[in-house]
Amino acid sequence: MLFSPMLTTYKEPRMERPIFKPIGTPTEQLDTPSLIVDVDALEHNISTVAEFFESNAAKLRPHVESHRTPAIAHKQLAGGGHVGGIAVSSIGQAEVFVPNGFTDVFVANLVVTPQKITRLCALARQAKIGVAVDSPANVADLSDAAVANGVCLEVVVYVNTRLGLYGVEPGRPAIDLAEAVVDAPGLDFAGIMTQEGSILSDDPDDAATESRSAIQPLLDTRQDLESAGIAVRVVSAGNTSNYQVVGAIDGVTEVPAGTYALLDAQHAPHLPHLKTAGRVMSTVTSRPEPGYMITDGGQKAIGADTGFPSVDNLPNPSVKGLSAEHGSIYFDASDGADPQLGEKIWCTPWDAATCANLHDYIFAVRNDSLEAVWEVSARGRYR
């Protein structure tokens, strides 16, 4: 027996709360670099996306990895239009969100090691827990652990439709794996999923065509499963980039989107009906020459793994580079722009999830005034 029925309850260590400016402090009096969320913009994004799903058969499952913050996730569920739960990317994230009141959590990942599977079963004592699979061996291990620990795990078969990273092939391979789940004690076959990645294009019609093409093998697999007598409750696909397309496709039941809440620089040009709610405020620390500045917002505050941030309050800005703790920014000084030392510079990160994972706290502001401080409780919880 690989798995012990003895479970230990994980206790999240409490982060010591630092000293902050009082509620009501003007935004630009906050220390920098800081991740600032405009609550009005956040609530606009949440209500806009929720309204879309309220009017479609498919529903939203907010993917909280994009912000890792229970306070934001509670707002997303309060907005409506969802399946009743959230998606996470790791067991560690689930171990943060379940104690914070989330009772339906889907781990949109493969959980294969004995240690992680045991932790998954521990969570299943406290909440409805789902997980993805793409191999018979993983199905057997999950089944053994679920039986040993007296829990039931909801299982979704991961189908490869576009990225080629993981997942079984559509059609017969997916049916065979689904049958293995159906026959496995301790497991409840829920359905199928795919992750097609962000699909962004300057031509919305091209993006829509690519999204539909990526989803069609999943829909065909659903039909194959039902023809084989296997009930499919869940067909999960899509993300923030294509939620309006995928969420309107007949046969899709849920869309695990998350970036829409904060919105980032890579998605904002393609979703003009949403607002950039999460930005990093930094301070000008040096002016080596006209049209060039150094700020205290570098990689450790903004992130630059997949792209540079956009700079929102300078004429024709160009990010030269980000070192660990400094940002190098060129701008057009021909119209008299001359930011002084101590002035604030606003950057929208290229990737919201990467940026959120760099901060212990989010400063929530409304009308340029501090309204709340939210702990990024799942920061660093990638195991």
Question: Does any domain span residue 175?
Answer: yes
- In this model, does residue 16 exceed pLDDT 80? no
The predicted-structure confidence for 144-173, as pLDDT tens digits, reads as follows 999 999 999 999 999 999 776 789 999 999
362 three-class SS: strand
Give mean pLDDT, residues 354-375. Answer: 98
Domain that holds residue 139: 84-252
pLDDT number for residue 165 = 77
334 three-class SS: coil
CATH assignment at residue 369: 2.40.37.20
pLDDT number for residue 266 = 95
Does residue 98 sit in the same domain as residue 196?
A: yes
pLDDT number for residue 6 = 44
Question: Does any domain span residue 94?
Answer: yes
Q: Is the dihedral of CA 295, 271, 352, 35 positive or negative?
A: positive
Q: Considering its fold, how many domains does the chain have in total?
A: 2
- In this model, does residue 214 exceed pLDDT 70? yes
Does residue 153 sit in the same domain as residue 211?
A: yes
Give mean pLDDT, residues 197-202. Answer: 80
Give mean pLDDT, residues 99-116. Answer: 98
- In this model, does residue 63 exceed pLDDT 80? yes
Give mean pLDDT, residues 87-95. Answer: 98
Does residue 291 sit in the same domain as residue 234?
A: no
- pTM, full prediction: 0.92
The predicted-structure confidence for 35-59, as pLDDT tens digits, reads as follows 999 999 999 999 999 999 999 999 9
- In this model, does residue 75 exceed pLDDT 80? yes
Does residue 247 sit in the same domain as residue 100?
A: yes
Domain boundary residue, one of 252, 270, 291: 252
pLDDT number for residue 331 = 95
Question: Does any domain span residue 89?
Answer: yes
pLDDT number for residue 304 = 80
- In this model, does residue 69 exceed pLDDT 80? yes
Question: Does any domain span residue 69?
Answer: no
Does residue 88 sit in the same domain as residue 216?
A: yes
- Which amino acid type is present at position 354? T
> 159 forms bridges with which residues in the sheet?
168
Strands 104-110 and 318-322: unpaired
Cβ neighbour number for residue 308 with a 10 Å cutoff: 19
35 three-class SS: strand
Please answer whether residues 34 and 254 qualify as being in contact, where contact means their C-beta atoms are separated by less than 8 angstroms.
no
pLDDT number for residue 20 = 75
Does residue 174 sit in the same domain as residue 311?
A: no
Residues with Cβ within 8 Å of 203's Cβ and at least 6 positions away in sequence, in order, are none
Does residue 238 sit in the same domain as residue 299?
A: no
Distance CA 194, CA 148 (A): 29
Between 131 and 196, residue with greater pLDDT: 131
- In this model, does residue 323 exceed pLDDT 60? yes
Does residue 363 sit in the same domain as residue 316?
A: yes
Residues with Cβ within 8 Å of 56's Cβ and at least 6 positions away in sequence, in order, are 247, 248
Question: Does any domain span residue 15?
Answer: no
- In this model, does residue 21 exceed pLDDT 60? yes
Per-residue pLDDT band for 7 (boundaries 50, 70, 90) equals: very low
pLDDT number for residue 17 = 55
The predicted-structure confidence for 224-253, as pLDDT tens digits, reads as follows 999 999 999 999 999 999 999 999 999 999
Residue 99 has phi, psi (to 5 degrees) of -65, -15
Long-range contacts of range 115-118, CB-CB < 8 Å, 24 or more positions apart? Answer: 116/91, 116/383, 117/3, 117/141, 117/142, 117/145, 118/3, 118/4, 118/7, 118/145, 118/149
Residue 48 has phi, psi (to 5 degrees) of -65, -45
pLDDT number for residue 10 = 43
Please answer whether residues 200 and 267 qualify as being in contact, where contact means their C-beta atoms are separated by less than 8 angstroms.
yes
Question: Does any domain span residue 11?
Answer: no
- In this model, does residue 15 exceed pLDDT 90? no
Backbone dihedral region of 380: left (phi > 0), alpha (psi from -120 to 50 degrees) or beta?
left
- In this model, does residue 5 exceed pLDDT 70? no
CATH assignment at residue 168: 3.20.20.10
Distance CA 175, CA 220 (A): 11
Does residue 240 sit in the same domain as residue 98?
A: yes
Does residue 246 sit in the same domain as residue 119?
A: yes
Question: Does any domain span residue 101?
Answer: yes
Q: How far is CA 347 from CA 107, 153, 247, 275, 340, in A?
A: 31, 42, 30, 14, 17
Q: What stretches of the chain show up as alpha helix (H) in DSSP? A: 39-54, 70-78, 91-97, 114-124, 136-149, 172-183, 204-227, 243-246, 299-302, 352-356
Question: Does any domain span residue 18?
Answer: no
Give mean pLDDT, residues 209-233. Answer: 96
Number of separate helices (H) and strands (E) present in the chain: 10, 17
pLDDT number for residue 199 = 83
Per-residue pLDDT band for 18 (boundaries 50, 70, 90) equals: low
The predicted-structure confidence for 180-194, as pLDDT tens digits, reads as follows 999 999 999 999 999
Q: What six digits make up the tokens of 370?
A: 């501090």
Does residue 346 sit in the same domain as residue 210?
A: no
Distance CA 197, CA 163 (A): 7
The predicted-structure confidence for 265-290, as pLDDT tens digits, reads as follows 999 999 999 999 999 999 999 999 99
Does residue 297 sit in the same domain as residue 227?
A: no
* Per-chain mean pLDDT for the chain: 94
Q: How far is CA 355 from CA 84, 120, 338, in A?
A: 27, 27, 28
DSSP per-residue string spanning 209-277: HHHHHHHHHHHHHHHHHHHTT----EEE---GGGHHHHTTSTT--EE---TTTT--TTTGGG-TTS---
